[in-house]
Amino acid sequence: MTRVLIVGGVAAGMKAAATARRRRPELDILVLQDEPEVSYSACGLPYWLGDPAAIPRDKLIARSVERFRADGIDLRVRHRVDEVNLDARRAHLTALDTGSRSAEPFDLILFATGAQAFMPPITVTTDAPPVLPLRSLHDADRLQPLLSPPGRAVIVGGGYIGLEMAETLRHRGFRVTLVEAMPRLLPAFDPAVAGIVGEHLAKHGVEVVLGASVAQVGKEGVRLSDGIVLPADHVLMAVGVRPRTDLAAAAGVKLGETGAIAVDAAMRTGIAGAYAAGDCAEARHVVSGKPVWYPLGDIANRQGRVAGTNLAGGQARFPGVLGTAIFKVFDLAVARTGLSAEQARRSGFDPVPVHAQMPSRARYMPNSRMLDGWLLVDRRDGRLLGAEAVGPDGVDKYIDIAATAIWAKLTADDLAELDLAYAPPYSPVFAPVQVVGELAR
């Protein structure tokens, strides 16, 4: 019987295991996961940390170890794969609780090893406050008890996690300072988005220090390279993640130009029988056709589903990504999809950004709010290339319509003419994204 080995058991790994099990009940599936839990929502961690009474920890776990086992998946947690020999089709592993080492044979393997938090080389003295990342449930378990009573927190990194956690920590009563190395927040977004988010942070009492690098964390707090010291009881490092590729690379699997594992549309690595999916793997951008690396949960699940189908003998293909993403910071939603202007230029397009500020619903409705929306359109043929939006209402709808339109290769003309739902409590006569589409025609 074919034996499938899956390394990593969060989003991509467990989605693949469940899909493969469903499609071929007789498959022998072994999942090895170094953490004690599987299939948890890392995306929910900032919300559990913010309000553990409202969001119980166990609700973050989509499916328990026991349930996977009941489905006939041999799932071993606290087991780390140390080495994979793709010629001999054997994986060498360590049981982390006992230290005992063993080997497991396999016919097919999926690398679903994810990503890890990047920890910059900063000096941390022994008497420094805790300096923690937020990547895993274990990281969140370490953070949770530190959040009461509240004190002073410094967040290093003004990206997705830094901004979500700024809200969480303010909600828990902390004084929060956010340190970003770049001259502005959210370098991947339009500068105007960063400005709106910056003002919003100030309104909610978050102090933002831009263009700053951390030299050291010591007893007195975080010392920046210009000598300024930010007092801190806790320091959260949120400066990005890196794909976990060591295991696959050591086994001879090729990495792509982004640094993540290169895969084809079937999630194959190029070595027979070896697949990769999720945050450890690249994806192809639907607009540019180029390999990209977006470490996002929905992509990990979609890639895991394709890998699981193919591990079970199917012919699924992963069509690619737009990098569609959204996050919440206090009362604002911030979202993007498709190419940025810079990515578009590098891919040979002639991008024109079009912007409007519009009401999210009929202007006279009490629940209507102003939102800012952008579309990036190719000057030559009006093709939609990318979109961004920020505001307190309607941003998710804006970005999902834009993503669908970009995916379908629509032009600004097409978008402006779409037949979308209208009633005053839900939308203006023309949906905000159509208003920008109209401007871009």
E strand or H helix at 40? none
Report if residue 304 touches ligand NAD, rule: CB under 6 A: no
Closest approach, Cβ 418 to ligand NAD, in A, equals 26
Q: How far apart are CA 321 and CA 299, in angstroms?
A: 7
Which one of the listed residues 28, 35, 43, 118 is annotated catalytic?
43
Report if residue 8 touches ligand FAD, rule: CB under 6 A: yes
Q: How far apart are CA 277 and CA 128, in angstroms?
A: 38
* CA-wise closest residue to 160 among 297, 280, 260: 297
Report if residue 323 touches ligand FAD, rule: CB under 6 A: no
Contacts with ligand FAD, 265-284, as mask; x by CB under 6 A:
-------------xx-----
Q: The tokens of 382 are what? A: 């009006």
Q: In the chain, what is the greatest distance between 2 CA atoms, to the nearest angstrom?
A: 69
Q: Which residues have C-beta within 8 Å of that of residue 237, sequence separation ≥ 6?
A: 117, 118, 119, 120, 131, 132, 133, 156, 157
* CA-wise closest residue to 421 among 370, 371, 362, 374: 362
Cα–Cα distance list, 75 to 4, 135, 275 (Å): 12, 22, 19
**Residues between 125 and 164 that touch ligand FAD (CB under 6 A):** 134-135, 161
Closest approach, Cβ 145 to ligand FAD, in A, equals 17
Phi first, then psi, for residue 250 (nearest 5°) are: -65, -25
Nearer residue to ligand NAD within complex by CB, 260 or 416: 260
The site partner of 173 among ligand FAD, ligand NAD, none (C-beta below 5 to 8 Å per kind) is none
Measured at the CA of 287, the angle between CA 438 and CA 349, to 5 degrees, comes to 70
Q: Which residues have C-beta within 8 Å of that of residue 265, sequence separation ≥ 6?
A: 284, 306, 317, 318, 319, 320
Contacts with ligand NAD, 141-170, as mask; x by CB under 6 A:
---------------xxxxxxx-x------
Q: Which residues have C-beta within 8 Å of that of residue 317, sequence separation ≥ 6?
A: 265, 266, 306
- Which residue stretches of 183-296 are H helix? 191-203, 246-250
The residue at minimum Cβ distance from ligand FAD is 114
User: In DSSP terms, which residues pair with 176 in a beta bridge?
Assistant: 153, 206
Within 13 Å of residue 183, how many CA atoms lie on the same side as its CB? 1
Residues in the interface with ligand NAD (CB under 6 A) total 24
The window from 124-132, 235-243, 347-355, 427-435 that contacts ligand NAD (CB under 6 A) reads 235-243
Nearer residue to ligand FAD within complex by CB, 17 or 385: 17
Report if residue 338 touches ligand NAD, rule: CB under 6 A: no
The window from 178-186, 250-258, 289-297, 371-379 that contacts ligand FAD (CB under 6 A) reads 289-297
What is the rounded end-to-end Cα distance, in angstroms, of the chain? 58
The site partner of 113 among ligand FAD, ligand NAD, none (C-beta below 5 to 8 Å per kind) is ligand FAD
**DSSP-assigned states of every residue in 273-314:** TEEE-GGGB-EEBTTT--EE----HHHHHHHHHHHHHHHTT-
Q: The tokens of 221 are what? A: 């707090």
Nearer residue to ligand NAD within complex by CB, 114 or 437: 114
Nearer residue to ligand NAD within complex by CB, 160 or 349: 160
Q: Are 287 and 301 in contact (CB under 8 A)?
A: no
Q: How far apart are CA 33 and CA 25, in angstroms?
A: 21
Report if residue 335 touches ligand FAD, rule: CB under 6 A: no
Closest approach, Cβ 102 to ligand NAD, in A, equals 33
Contacts with ligand FAD, 70-89, as mask; x by CB under 6 A:
----------xx--------
Contacts with ligand FAD, 236-255, as mask; x by CB under 6 A:
--------x--x--------
Report if residue 323 touches ligand NAD, rule: CB under 6 A: no
Which of 29, 274, 286, 296 is in the footprint of ligand NAD by CB under 6 A? 296
The window from 179-187, 255-263, 266-274, 335-343 that contacts ligand NAD (CB under 6 A) reads 179-187
**Residues between 24 and 43 that touch ligand FAD (CB under 6 A):** 32-35, 42-43
280 counts as catalytic: no
Closest approach, Cβ 186 to ligand NAD, in A, equals 6
Nearer residue to ligand NAD within complex by CB, 303 or 434: 303
Which runs of E-coded beta strand occur in 70-107? Answer: 74-77, 79-85, 90-95, 101-105
Report if residue 240 touches ligand NAD, rule: CB under 6 A: yes
Report if residue 375 touches ligand FAD, rule: CB under 6 A: no
Catalytically active residues are 43
Give the interface with ligand NAD as residue ranges (CB under 6 A). Answer: 120, 156-162, 164, 179-182, 187, 213-214, 238-241, 295-296, 325, 327
